[in-house]
Structure 1
Amino acid sequence: MLRKVITSLTPKYHKLKDKSVFLLLFATSFFIRFPFFFRDYIDRDESTFILMGQSWVDGYLPYVELWDLKPPITYLFFASSIYIFGKSFLAIRFLGTLVVAITAFFTYKIGKEMDSKKLGFWAAMACIALQSLFGSLQGVMSEHICMTFFMPGLYLLIKHERIFWSGLSGILMGLAMMTKLNMAYAVLLLGIYVLYRYTKQREYNKAIRFSFFFAGGIVTVVLLTLMPYFISGSMEVWWKSVILAPLEYTDARRYSVLKMAPTFLLLGLFFYYAWKKKLLDFRAPPVQILTIAILGVLLSFIKGGRINSHYLIQLHPILIIVVGMAVGKIPIFQKFDYRPYLFFLTLVVPLESYLEYYAVVRNKIERGTFFNGEGFTVPQYLVNTNTDTQNILFLGYHIGYWVLDAKPPTKAATHPSNICRDELFPFYDNPRSSSLQELQYIFEEIRPKVIVVRKNRLVFDKKEVEENEYVDAYLEKYYTVFATIDKAEILQRSH
């Protein structure tokens, strides 16, 4: 009986239509991500993107009033949501759900094109899970936005050879780059590969036209992001913030090789095994394109010197297809009835979502609201107690600026950790040259009346020893705990 139920729930792959697949992917993405719509933040970067987007809506180009280390399209996504829907966490998270569904849909399209609808479908489902679970991925990250451009661009390179489509692919790749600059490595390698393939086949006219349209699409997007700065006479701001600052950041913030080695070793073993056992046809252009895209992303990790968990969002949608194709060629898996296990796996995988559904309902019962987190409760407390919040510093839960209609005290404080990235200060003309000078300026010149910190936590990363010692000593001397709200402490200046 159970087997019949499971079989009836398994899609009839040959009958799948693109529209129904997209709707199913969106419904799955929505189910997994919906309970996180009500969180104040999931990753602190998302809070920073919201502040940058709000600043743009207020009339300030990115990097002018506030500053952070991402290209402009990331902030345009958040600015567009705020401009159209107002200050709505629900709108931002809904659009994030749509972004994940679009990426998964083009994962399906590529999988279908290269192997089968069955492979494409389950690759897309895995894509949703790996972009929405297992860490701080339920928010809207720049990597999510980036891949919703990159995967359609990659699909066009695989599916269509007409020059028009290469131009559209170039535009999408340009948008991906101007969302996450490190994708330039993958885009460059893909462009070189297609150009080489046309040249090798002696299709020189195609090679020239491809170069013109593909590169033209990329350059068009880059120039469009530059145009507002050109019009306002601040092109240097764009150049320093979009190009120079990321290059400096990657040189200054590198992990040890040992931290990155497991990822590269595992992938190296997989590709070697797939080649040795002929699980993948590396002579086929689509396989070559996906392999080069993967190598481009990995190269960007090497050049960046670090792999954070959310960086893997840029790798998973491509890698899932290749792994699925290889696994499908292994004889034992061809005869294996996976459906009962797959059914129970799909029930167990969204465990984080089930727990969050429970937390949201409990918060509604206990506090009368679905929205939860110190980013909501701290501002609400400050409003209820008529506390002056115009001169406030959030060293934790900095989404509170947005909730309170307040601004960070300096550009460097847009994201609290940016205060300690003094190697980036020259790129937004910060008058202070070191993180300690920045902290001294904030505490001793601006003198915030209210400071919010995370309870029993270091303000900055533990490696920022001097900065943490200075902050702890200053707060102890000049501030008293005004209130403790959940896991946040509200400090008020005493003298």
Structure 2
Amino acid sequence: MKGLKSFPYWLVILLSVTVLLRIPSLFGVYSYGDECIYLTLGQAAREGLTWYRDIHDNKPPLLYLLAMFSGNLFWFRTILLAWSLTTIYLFAKLAKILFPDHDRAVKITMITFAVLSSLPILEGQTVNAEVFMVIFTIAGILRILRGNFSNRAALGVGILFSLGTLFKVPAATDFFGLCVFLLFFVPQNIKQFKTQIVRIFFLGLGFSVPILLSFTWYAFQGAFKPYLIAGFLQNFGYLSTWKGSTLGLYIRTVLLLGSFVFLWLTRKRFSLNQNLIFLWFAFSLYGATLSARPYPHYLFQVLPAFCFLLGILFDKIKVFAKVLAVCLLISVCFIYYFSFWHYSVLPYYRNFVLFALGHESKEIYRENLGSGDNYPIADLINRNTLKTDKIFVWGEAAPCVYALSHRLPVGKYAATYHIIDFDGYSETASALEKQNPRLIIDLNTEKGRFPRLSDLIDEKYYLFQRINRAEIFLLKTSK
């Protein structure tokens, strides 16, 4: 009963509102490519394939593990809902520590975080690694600020940040930011500085252990090299593929270093909690913009620190801290507006309400969510293949066709753009020629061609059916 009494009524209301905001996501459709890739890799694992060696994607494995357990989009997003509620609860506990004497600041940060994390603005309703990984950063910082931060506790916090990194590599920037904070902002004398060095050693040890265990696992699976390349090293190559230059990365690195120097020189003008928030914001923004890609869910990594910056404005503090918080808030809003894609909120909920009230057909509902021809194509596949049959889909929506039809691709690539980006044409063509899938689907959405695929279709397949732009080819021996 004591635990229930300490649970604020307004937090119960906020969590309830969060559930309401996320209900439409549970009725989502197979249209978001990344979600479909994760589900396809999850199915591959259930059928005995090894990630990275037998089927490819370029993220660490924990998100695929959740996809393996979920099995379909509904349960995948249900896990996301439960995960998000837990994240909000831990965020509330951290907010109370960061703003111990100002309930208004706590409530404002909580409401902002809960709402922004649940709306389509930052793609918080879709399954992305960033939405999962922030809980580990929040939990790690919460454990540190609760006091009695022993070497054993540091080991545990390092493990938390490592788990976040095993969802997506940029989570490591939050870990490095925390280490900088503990080493350069917490110590008040040489003795404390030496103590913090020991703490950081245990943090680093905890951070290393889960990652090293994952490498050990894949080494025993004969997949050490592909795991190293796809799960980690390709993330560095990913940094320059969008704009074709690393100049922006160098500029952002200089800005991060400049931010650190400025905060260190002015650290005595802020409280320890404020220094933590400012530094957390700087490192998380750096992590979110590493690749300079315009996907809004990347900014989810910044959201906790962003909300705490907002809380500073309503805390009883010196004006200088508020001015700095305002400048940082304006900067991230500026970055979001000019550098990231924007998603509408009202049309999303309007579409769901019309569907829920029976004023909109299932087909129109799906079409408004961008499903295209995925459902009729998947239905055709299921009617003309066995569950054990592999297929091949060429086109932008290939991952969603695989996930929706519960069929695995021939070759190791679930996404067409992976074949293009990683020059997997020859490897994929060889797999196609060897396995002769019963169906090949050309969605006719790619500008570039796959010559050996066209030759194989001409030689061994005939046009079975058209669904709008998509062409479905059946193996000639299957007539």
Q: Normalising by the residue count of structure 1, what TM-score does the alignment of the two structures yield? A: 0.73
Q: Distance in 2 between matches of 1:398 and 1:46?
A: 8
Structure 1 residue corresponding to 2:103, chosen from 102, 106, 117: 117
1:359 aligned onto 2:373: no
Closer/same/farther in 2, CA of residues 22 and 229 from structure 1, 3 Å limit: farther
Structure 2 residue corresponding to 1:241, chosen from 214, 230, 239: 230
Residue 363 of structure 1: CA displacement?
8.6
Kindly tell me the number of residue pairs found equivalent between the two proteins.
432
State the Cα RMSD in Å: 4.3
Structure 2 residue corresponding to 1:99, chosen from 67, 80, 83: 83
Which has the larger displacement, 147-156 or 442-451?
442-451
Contact conserved, 2:381 with 2:405, CA < 8 A, in 1? no
Residue 315 of structure 1: CA displacement?
0.9
Counterpart amino acid of 1:358?
L
Counterpart amino acid of 1:357?
V
* Structure 2 match to 1:392: 391
Matched position secondary structure for 1:492: strand
Q: Distance in 2 between matches of 1:362 and 1:317?
A: 38
Closer/same/farther in 2, CA of residues 420 and 128 from structure 1, 3 Å limit: farther
Cα deviation 1:238-286 (Å, max 9, x = unaligned): 322323222222233346799999x99xx99xx9xxx9xx9x9852121
Closer/same/farther in 2, CA of residues 137 and 445 from structure 1, 3 Å limit: farther
Matched position secondary structure for 1:96: helix
Contact conserved, 2:37 with 2:400, CA < 8 A, in 1? yes
Contact conserved, 2:433 with 2:456, CA < 8 A, in 1? no
Counterpart amino acid of 2:307?
I
* Structure 2 match to 1:193: 181
Which has the larger displacement, 214-223 or 224-233?
224-233
Q: Distance in 2 between matches of 1:22 and 1:67?
A: 41
Q: Distance in 1 between matches of 2:314 and 2:31?
A: 33
Contact conserved, 2:32 with 2:400, CA < 8 A, in 1? no
Unmatched segments (≥5 aa) in structure 1: 1-14, 332-347, 423-433, 460-464
Q: Distance in 2 between matches of 1:165 and 1:243?
A: 27
Matched position secondary structure for 1:100: helix
Q: Distance in 2 between matches of 1:117 and 1:492?
A: 63
* Structure 2 match to 1:174: 162
* Structure 1 match to 2:132: 145
Kindly report which structure 2 residues correspond to 1:332-371, keeping only aligned pairs within 5 A, or say none.
352-362=348-358
Q: Distance in 2 between matches of 1:490 and 1:138?
A: 32
Q: Distance in 1 between matches of 2:13 and 2:72?
A: 25
Q: Distance in 2 between matches of 1:117 and 1:60?
A: 51
Closer/same/farther in 2, CA of residues 304 and 369 from structure 1, 3 Å limit: closer
Cα deviation 1:63-112 (Å, max 9, x = unaligned): 12211000122222222x33xxxx34322111111222222233323332
Residue 50 of structure 1: CA displacement?
1.4
1:286 aligned onto 2:273: yes
Q: Distance in 1 between matches of 2:374 and 2:147?
A: 46
* Structure 1 match to 2:74: 90
Counterpart amino acid of 2:403?
W
1:250 aligned onto 2:239: yes
Closer/same/farther in 2, CA of residues 206 and 187 from structure 1, 3 Å limit: same
Unmatched segments (≥5 aa) in structure 2: 323-343
Kindly report which structure 2 residues correspond to 1:269-418, keeping only aligned pairs within 5 A, or say none.
283-301=270-288, 303-326=290-313, 352-362=348-358, 373=371, 374-384=373-383, 386=384, 390-395=389-394, 396-411=397-412, 413-418=413-418
Cα deviation 1:190-233 (Å, max 9, x = unaligned): 11320234544331553244123322221222123223224435
Residue 312 of structure 1: CA displacement?
0.7
Structure 1 residue corresponding to 2:218, chosen from 219, 229, 233: 229
Q: Normalising by the residue count of structure 2, what TM-score does the alignment of the two structures yield? A: 0.75
1:420 aligned onto 2:420: yes
Contact conserved, 1:364 with 1:370, CA < 8 A, in 2? no
